[in-house]
Structure 1
Amino acid sequence: MCSKTHVYRRVGIMSESEFPKPGEFASFEELLCDYDAGDLTEENAERLRGIIRGSAELRKRFVEHQLISVALSNAIGSLESLSGGSDDAPLPAGSAGQQSPLLAVDIAAENERTKASISRPGRNAWHRMMLAAAASLFLIVGARWLYLEVTSASESQPENLGILDDEPTARGLAILSNSVGAQWAGEKTPLIGEALTRGKFALTEGLAQLEFFCGATVVLDGPTEFELLSPMHARVLSGRLRAEVPPAARGFTIDLPDGRVIDLGTEFGVEVDQGNTNIQVFDGKLEYLPESGPKRLLTAGEAVANSPGGGARDDSLTPNKFVDVASLSARAQERDKANYEAWQDYLYGGVSKHASLVALYAFDSLSDQHRRLVCDATSISGMPASELDGAIVGAQQGPGRWTHKSALQFKHPGDRVRLVVPGKFSSLTFCCWARIDSLDRQYNSLFLTDGYNQGEPHWQLLKSGQIYFSVRPTEPGQTGPRDHKSISPVFWNTKMSGKWVHLATTYDVETREVVHYVNGDELSRETIPAEMLVAETRIGAASIGNWAQPTQTDDEFAIRNLNGSIDELAVFSEALPAELIMEMYRNGRP
């Protein structure tokens, strides 16, 4: 260990905790000593560079060594001048002669100034010598400060960024991006857009498309049992699949009961049936590594069959047996069209004629040229339904639940739909289809009356992922009971971002209950205290997807816009039974 390192310890620049344990960085320290002494050979110089490149910790130590070497050498030179030492003593080769460009310190010039100040006689010589010593100490402290600043900055932007302590995280290896008639074994059914985690899955029937995080796309044809192992690795236990692997995902691997296939940029099919394996290459090439027998390179147009005890043999190509992405997409569009048409029959043939319907917006006749949200009820208490048409402000037309349907996107703070619903009611039901991208605000509007006056309801979502419903019992400024805030348990999280969800809330005056529903299922139910019950409700001027009030005398307004889309919204003048809400969900689900 070179002597300068021990000087660092003595002056307190390097603490015991910072100093490497004996033998831990011996090679590095030996090379550093040779570097300081100017004895570093070209071979050892390359060796030192390699060590520094390979260790972030040693890079920090090298920076510290360089900074402290410059400052310490300057301090030693100044003290030697004060004590009559040689004015021409050379600086250490590694510290000053080879100093890092990180420090713009001209030590030679500083030595010359120090010599000149000492050589001039005068009664203030000792005063000048003390100033020189203080300046040298300042350089040492300054070098240490600069080291801390540099290492702090480098640590704030590490070369290999990991997960930060306060950074939100999620889990998953692949996305379920499409399906047709998919039925899954087990209690939990994966949803379109959901990230699937490591583990086994069983598709009992239908088709399902998985997009792995590496970029590979796999179409499963049920019944198929498979296991996700990593973003680049899966296992087929039984069933059939077709994989499309782009260049970015080369090396994508699928394990089989009798071996594995490794993609080399291809499109291929795999089938496992009672221990028999069939592999077919439709494009590109792959490696097949059977458990017994030599590795085989399969190219486009080749197929291999492998059976227990029979070994691998060439087989005929049957591409139509394996469903590809394009075929699955075409089937999904046909299914969506059929579901969309069935929903239209249900909505316009039944819901729009419901006796207690107050307002119905199907979001099915949107036009950027006519900024109007059409009310789709046949009539409202003898009044033309067009009187309840909404005015679209800011919100833009976007994709709805099906390819053939539209919705309204609410993205900016001012986006909303303005409408007026006249009349007085008692019980109420609000329901809608919503796609929530994120809950950015403390309050995220679904349907809010303007001023929130006596008898007026507010229906919105909290940032925490809860449904929030209330009806005001008194006029603003009047004394009396506070409104009852019915808040559901948390139902939404970031995993549901971008997915369509059916929301409903019933306000029942007779039973004094508020019930929240999500996707047809009851989420929560609670009783309203008698003193907070509002028997007569009204709506009046209101907004979908935002809140028009309160506004100030200037142009400020509360920001409660929904970050997402709404597709179909209905208001009823009764608390609909759970069976009807489930029926509306099942007929409208995408």
Structure 2
Amino acid sequence: MNDQHARLELIRRCLDGEATNEEIAQLEELLRADPEFRLEYLRYLNVDSVLAALPNKRESVAECRVHDAPQLPPYESRWPHFLGPAGWLTAAAMLLFSSVLTLQSIDREQNNTRSQRTRGIIAKPTAVKDTGVAVLTRTAGLQGAASTNWRIGETIPPGLMKWDSGLLQLEFYGGATVVAEGPAEIEILDESRVVCRAGRLRARVPEPARGFAVLAPNVELVDLGTDFGLDILDDGSVEVHVFDGAVELFAVESNRDLSTRVQLNAGDAVSVGRDGISKPVGSRNADFVSPSRLNRMSAFQQQQTHRDWRTFRDSLRDDPRVVAYFPFERNSSDDRVLTGYGSNGTVIEGAIVGCEWTQGRWSSKSSLQFKRPGDRVRLNVPGKFESMTYSTWVRVDGLDRMHSSLLLTDGFRENSPHWQIRRDGNLVLGVQHPGDNAINYQAKSVFNAFRLGQWTHLATVYDSERSLVTHYVNGEVAKKHRLKSFAGGLLEIGNATIGNWSEPEPHHAPGIRNLNGCMDELIVFNEALLGKEVRRIHEVGRP
């Protein structure tokens, strides 16, 4: 096998559990016979992580293969299936020996062709580029097709924003804060310039953001450090109101020709007609929603949506399909117990370890914060099921672990799924199928730098009848997988951990998998929900 691409594809398939028995045998033979191939293989493996992960228990070895082995980007790496416990020690020793040779070779011969080639395989880390220019920080009553996808805390890049009614607040990177009311059509050019084609807006511009500009159909406004409002009326005229400070007005498309310049000061208000001629009008301060007023309106709307969610919460207690439901509401009598509900409304209690209570999706709701390696919730979910659906509301604040747990069963037993997020942002349902066939069903790049800190609804459906695993993000299908042909048997949770991972025996130390973020709802159903049911959970719980 001389083709480098074919070599890398073989490594990838074997480490990701997709290889046939023949391919696994081929990899084993290459590792024995070809020193250069061993070095190539080694470049993708962190020997220290492998050795640290070596347990004595067979089911833990299987979990290590799927989850704890270092990654071959953009896939999750696993050791091949042919390695038993003895093979693990042999492979680890071989790789350790190879790593020493590699380091010596690099130290002795920086220009060695083989070292150059293996170094060239590894992609250099690149900085994440931020294409955004503003952050969406508040909304109230938004209506419109596009607005359904906008999220509080979302980074907004240059582009068009159009909605039918309601208000939103944008905080621009330059420092200006804009509250806009629909129906509106606003095109964001950069961190200090917008085009307003329809709607009403109010801007608060501190000194560092001085020069913030709004281009309207009949006039260009340049701020001089102020608080102003702009309203495009039905007759095509544009009203400008200055509440504090001063602004400059220029004729549209004049390239800010000073001969067209007009300065307005605090208390001034003018209407600019289609012909560009301005005339004074009465000030309408109360018609322009300020950031503080929008904050009150947003808080009122949150209270309303929280009430709607509580009605939904109560209905779930009577849903016979629910085998575990944790609404993450703080127990006033014992806040180290996470109270949940199982089949037929029975009470399930989770033991909170380390986690701290904090604000949830709404200011009036609680959530649990997971930060430290020990933070977790221990629980037991009885029963065995042909199909299952997982649903959670989570705010991921960082992806600093190789895996971040959502709900992990103890160890990695057959048909006891692991639901978690990888460091690369992939959402994963890992299942140890019969015959020692461990498979990760993944939705790629669910989380990235720009989704961190936002409340996100995740759901994964394991449908044995249709032989499908479906991942949902915020109510929309993110990825569908066919179940592998060897999948079979009933699924089981049993002893498990929210936001972390535990081995079945205390002397087996698992890798750190604590969630970095907050969770404020977790539901497990004993059947495969339909897409419309998943969307309903998202819609009623959306903050």
TM-score with structure 2 setting the length: 0.71
Equivalent residue, structure 2, for 1:361:
326
Of residues 530, 535, 543, the one that matches 1:577 is 530
Equivalent residue, structure 2, for 1:504:
459
Of residues 513, 520, 523, the one that matches 1:560 is 513
Equivalent residue, structure 1, for 2:411:
451
The 8 Å contact of residues 512 and 527 in structure 1, kept in 2 or not, is answered as yes
Equivalent residue, structure 1, for 2:168:
208
Which whole-Å CA distance do the structure 1 matches of 2:498 and 2:276 have between them?
Answer: 67
Which AA in structure 2 matches 1:541?
N
Alignment of 1:235 onto 2:195: yes
Equivalent residue, structure 1, for 2:249:
288
The 8 Å contact of residues 146 and 163 in structure 2, kept in 1 or not, is answered as no
Q: Which moved more, 1:331-340 or 1:449-458?
A: 449-458
Q: CA deviation at 1:186?
A: 5.3
Equivalent residue, structure 2, for 1:132:
none
Which whole-Å CA distance do the structure 2 matches of 1:511 and 1:166 have between them?
Answer: 41
1:18-71 deviation per Cα after TM superposition (whole angstroms, max 9, x unaligned): xxxxxxxxxxxxxxxxxxxxxxxxxxxxxxxxxxxxxxxxxxxxxxxxxxxxxx
Which whole-Å CA distance do the structure 2 matches of 1:188 and 1:454 have between them?
Answer: 40
The 8 Å contact of residues 253 and 262 in structure 1, kept in 2 or not, is answered as yes
Q: CA deviation at 1:341?
A: 0.4
Equivalent residue, structure 1, for 2:316:
351
Structure 1: unaligned runs, 5 residues or longer: 1-163, 475-479
Q: CA deviation at 1:222?
A: 0.8
Instruction: Tell me the secondary structure at the aligned position of residue 238 of structure 2.
Output: strand
Of residues 398, 423, 439, the one that matches 1:484 is 439
Which AA in structure 2 matches 1:485?
N
Q: CA deviation at 1:550?
A: 7.1
The 8 Å contact of residues 549 and 558 in structure 1, kept in 2 or not, is answered as no
Which AA in structure 1 matches 2:134?
A
Alignment of 1:549 onto 2:503: yes
Equivalent residue, structure 1, for 2:84:
none
* Aligned-residue identity in percent: 37
Of residues 332, 336, 339, the one that matches 1:371 is 336
Q: CA deviation at 1:308?
A: 3.0
Which whole-Å CA distance do the structure 1 matches of 2:276 and 2:500 have between them?
Answer: 68
Q: How does 1:415-494 map to 2 (within 5 A)?
A: 415-473=375-433, 480-494=435-449
Q: How does 1:245-284 map to 2 (within 5 A)?
A: 245-273=205-233, 274-284=235-245
Instruction: Tell me the secondary structure at the aligned position of residue 200 of structure 2.
Output: strand
Q: CA deviation at 1:405?
A: 0.7
Say how many residue pairs are matched: 414
The 8 Å contact of residues 366 and 397 in structure 1, kept in 2 or not, is answered as no
Which AA in structure 1 matches 2:313?
L
Residues 297 and 536 of structure 1: is their aligned pair in 2 closer, same or farther, counting only changes over 3 Å?
A: same
Equivalent residue, structure 2, for 1:315:
281
Which whole-Å CA distance do the structure 2 matches of 1:530 and 1:195 have between them?
Answer: 42
Instruction: Tell me the secondary structure at the aligned position of residue 496 of structure 1.
Output: coil
Equivalent residue, structure 2, for 1:587:
540
1:536-587 deviation per Cα after TM superposition (whole angstroms, max 9, x unaligned): 2322211001001277748x54111111111110112222222222221111
Q: How does 1:5-84 map to 2 (within 5 A)?
A: none
Which AA in structure 2 matches 1:352?
R
Instruction: Tell me the secondary structure at the aligned position of residue 562 of structure 1.
Output: coil
Residues 582 and 415 of structure 1: is their aligned pair in 2 closer, same or farther, counting only changes over 3 Å?
A: same
The 8 Å contact of residues 431 and 439 in structure 2, kept in 1 or not, is answered as yes
Instruction: Tell me the secondary structure at the aligned position of residue 353 of structure 1.
Output: coil
Which AA in structure 2 matches 1:289?
F
Instruction: Tell me the secondary structure at the aligned position of residue 414 of structure 2.
Output: coil
1:263-292 deviation per Cα after TM superposition (whole angstroms, max 9, x unaligned): 222111111234312111111222223459
Alignment of 1:174 onto 2:137: no
Which whole-Å CA distance do the structure 2 matches of 1:307 and 1:532 have between them?
Answer: 70
Which whole-Å CA distance do the structure 1 matches of 2:206 and 2:483 have between them?
Answer: 58
Equivalent residue, structure 1, for 2:267:
301
Which whole-Å CA distance do the structure 1 matches of 2:242 and 2:309 have between them?
Answer: 41
Instruction: Tell me the secondary structure at the aligned position of residue 452 of structure 1.
Output: coil
Equivalent residue, structure 1, for 2:150:
190
Q: CA deviation at 1:496?
A: 1.1
Of residues 294, 304, 307, the one that matches 1:328 is 294
Instruction: Tell me the secondary structure at the aligned position of residue 429 of structure 1.
Output: strand
Structure 2: unaligned runs, 5 residues or longer: 1-123
Q: How does 1:373-412 map to 2 (within 5 A)?
A: 373-377=338-342, 379=344, 384-385=346-347, 388-412=348-372
Residues 432 and 455 of structure 1: is their aligned pair in 2 closer, same or farther, counting only changes over 3 Å?
A: same
The 8 Å contact of residues 391 and 417 in structure 1, kept in 2 or not, is answered as yes
Q: Detail structure 1 runs of 4+ shifted over 4 Å in the superposition.
A: 184-188, 291-294, 366-369, 377-380
Equivalent residue, structure 2, for 1:340:
306
The 8 Å contact of residues 320 and 343 in structure 2, kept in 1 or not, is answered as no
Which whole-Å CA distance do the structure 2 matches of 1:197 and 1:485 have between them?
Answer: 33
Instruction: Tell me the secondary structure at the aligned position of residue 225 of structure 2.
Output: strand
1:75-96 deviation per Cα after TM superposition (whole angstroms, max 9, x unaligned): xxxxxxxxxxxxxxxxxxxxxx
Instruction: Tell me the secondary structure at the aligned position of residue 583 of structure 1.
Output: helix
1:478-519 deviation per Cα after TM superposition (whole angstroms, max 9, x unaligned): xx3313322223322222111112111122333332222222
Which whole-Å CA distance do the structure 2 matches of 1:310 and 1:510 have between them?
Answer: 67
Which AA in structure 1 matches 2:494?
G
Which whole-Å CA distance do the structure 2 matches of 1:588 and 1:358 have between them?
Answer: 19
The 8 Å contact of residues 147 and 163 in structure 2, kept in 1 or not, is answered as no
- State which structure, 1 or 2, has the greater radius of gyration over its C-alpha atoms: 1
